[in-house]
Amino acid sequence: MSEKLMDVDLLNDIAQEEFEEIYPILKKQLEKLHRDIWDKGIPVIVVFEGCDFPHAIDIIGKFLLPLDPRGFKYHHISPSSEPDLDHPFMWNFWIQSPSRGQIAIFDHSWYARLLSMSIDGFDDRIDEIMNFEKMLSDDGTLFIKFFMHADVESISSYIHKWYGFASDDSLCHDNSISSSHMKGILDTTSTHYAPWTIVESICPEYAIIKVMSTVIKRIQTALSQDSAVPSPTSNAQVNSSCALPFRNYKVKDREYKGELANLQARMKVRQKELHELGQSLIIVFEGRDASGKGGAISRLTSSLNPRTYTVVPIYAPNDVELGHHYLWRFYKMLPLRGHITIFDRSWYGRVLVERVEGLATGDEWRRAYREINDFERSVVNDGVKIIKIWLEIDKNVQLKRFIDRAENPDKVWKITADDWRSRQQWHQYTEAVEDMLQFTSTEYAPWTVIEGNDKNYARLRILHTILDRTSDI
């Protein structure tokens, strides 16, 4: 951040005649640049933050005027709106993040939400904010953040004029919190990829010109770069020395049936307990083709109350999802309080199929380890438990199951040319799986690897794992 909050001359202003000369020029420039970022597919996030600043509507309104409504979405984060307790802190901002070529304008943002919170967990939230900005910016999003600055007198008189009374519904209601924290927050969160610009907003004409010329400059810089996506620095080192544990366990049918019924009954009770406690649970199933994910999931759910669990099968993203950061769609699928969401494949597609099939660049899948860890940490911080299961089979078992499917008219739909093709990349998948287990098995969301050669064994083991991991609730 080049400017400091305290050094700014709040009395900066501009004459009306000068404004009327400059504004139409900037308006035209921005109109043109808006089409350019659209054509180039660059997502842009513009943040207006600060107290309930004077002339807010005029300033933002004048900024919106040249924008084509097809290409932007305006979000007002009202101080009076209840924080969303059913979802993680950054959830709705993720949901509202712009798709490629779109501008999302936040009239107050995650920073206002942060300030409205109690001090408890403040640092975690700052981390989440910085992860959010880093992840989206690594994915090509341009961040333009404005801190609209004014003195307390101007703000009070503005609020009084606009609302007709001293509003409690103001983002300045507790000035002591705002001022003591704000400077620190601005310093901490002003990064090279998402810097703050302080705007003196007592004179609205001055503020409008400063906002528009900053946006124009930042967009021009982004357009002049070779690629919209800045090159990330990965903090994950790839190596493949970590081998999967593997033994051939077997469970006989008779033993299996009794044990299964017992575990399912316990699972049914556990689901009710989780629901009553409001404890949410995510269960991630990953595994090679034909490793038995579907069968295991149906054994898990067959005794459960459908009212508080969902199975979410993950396939190739549709065109709306492709327009967003790859984690976007998973944010939309997080469980409600007290509910269980079972993912049949998940965000790990980024470091598995997308890595092996070349659907993500090396930069993209390498930085995904950190992104996924950050994502899971923020979910866990919000009280959701995550259980991740890797179901492993060996190459012969997969072949046997593929042939079985191909020869059985009831199962033939389950096997496709893709399956045979990805089988040829067995080794590349193994490497990807080993990296995934090594880099994303965290204390708060560890992987459990389960041997799936014997379906009976795997199904019981999975139920045991889930019961064990939820026994401490």
Q: Which run of H or E residues covers position 353?
A: helix 353-356
CA–CA separation, 473 and 467 (whole Å): 11
Check residue 307 for interaction with its own copies (CB under 8 A).
yes
Binding mask 37-66 for its own copies (x = CB under 8 A): --------------------x--xx--xx-
Of 308-347, binders to its own copies (CB under 8 A) are 310-313, 315, 318-320, 344
Question: Is 9 or 413 the residue whose CB approaches its own copies more closely?
Answer: 413
Which residue stretch of 136-144, 203-211, 252-260, 305-313 sits at the interface with its own copies (rule: CB under 8 A)? 305-313
Binding mask 12-41 for its own copies (x = CB under 8 A): ----------------x--xx--x------
Q: How is residue 50 written in tokens?
A: 């600060």
Of 99-128, binders to its own copies (CB under 8 A) are 107
Cβ contact 149:198 at 8 Å: yes
- Least Cβ distance, residue 63 to its own copies (angstroms): 9
Cβ-proximal residues to 373 (8 Å cutoff; 6+ apart), any chain: 439, 440, 442, 445
Check residue 260 for interaction with its own copies (CB under 8 A).
no
Q: Give the CA count within 13 Å in the CB-facing half-sphere of 350.
A: 23
Q: Output the CA–CA distances (angstroms, integers) from residue 330 to 109, 130, 301, 312, in the order listed.
A: 21, 19, 21, 10
CA–CA separation, 94 and 327 (whole Å): 9
Question: Is 76 or 217 the residue whose CB approaches its own copies more closely?
Answer: 76
Which residue stretch of 85-93, 294-302, 385-393, 461-469 sits at the interface with its own copies (rule: CB under 8 A)? 294-302
CA–CA separation, 423 and 406 (whole Å): 15
Question: Is 239 or 298 the residue whose CB approaches its own copies more closely?
Answer: 298
Cβ contact 454:251 at 8 Å: yes
Question: Is 106 or 439 the residue whose CB approaches its own copies more closely?
Answer: 106
- Least Cβ distance, residue 338 to its own copies (angstroms): 12
Q: Output the CA–CA distances (angstroms, integers) from residue 26 to 21, 58, 97, 208, 221, in the order listed.
A: 10, 16, 26, 10, 16
Check residue 303 for interaction with its own copies (CB under 8 A).
yes
Q: Is 174 helix (H, G, I), strand (E, B) or coil?
A: coil
- DSSP percent split of the chain into helix, strand, coil, nearest 5: 50, 15, 35
Which amino acid, residue 314?
I
Binding mask 133-162 for its own copies (x = CB under 8 A): ------------------------------
User: Would you call 1 exposed, middle or buried from its count of C-beta atoms within 10 A (0-12, 13-18, 19+)?
Assistant: middle
CA–CA separation, 405 and 292 (whole Å): 12
Count of residues interacting with its own copies (CB under 8 A): 36
Cβ contact 73:46 at 8 Å: no
Binding mask 344-383 for its own copies (x = CB under 8 A): x---------------------------------------
- Least Cβ distance, residue 316 to its own copies (angstroms): 12
Check residue 389 for interaction with its own copies (CB under 8 A).
no
* Member of 298, 361, 408, 416 binding its own copies (CB under 8 A): 298
- Least Cβ distance, residue 268 to its own copies (angstroms): 9
Question: Is 132 or 347 the residue whose CB approaches its own copies more closely?
Answer: 347
Check residue 229 for interaction with its own copies (CB under 8 A).
no
Question: Is 74 or 122 the residue whose CB approaches its own copies more closely?
Answer: 74
Q: Which of 164, 211, 240 is nearest to 432 (CA)?
A: 240
Residues that bind its own copies (CB under 8 A): 28, 31-32, 35, 57, 60-61, 64-65, 68-70, 74, 76, 78, 107, 294, 297-298, 302-307, 310-313, 315, 318-320, 344, 410, 413
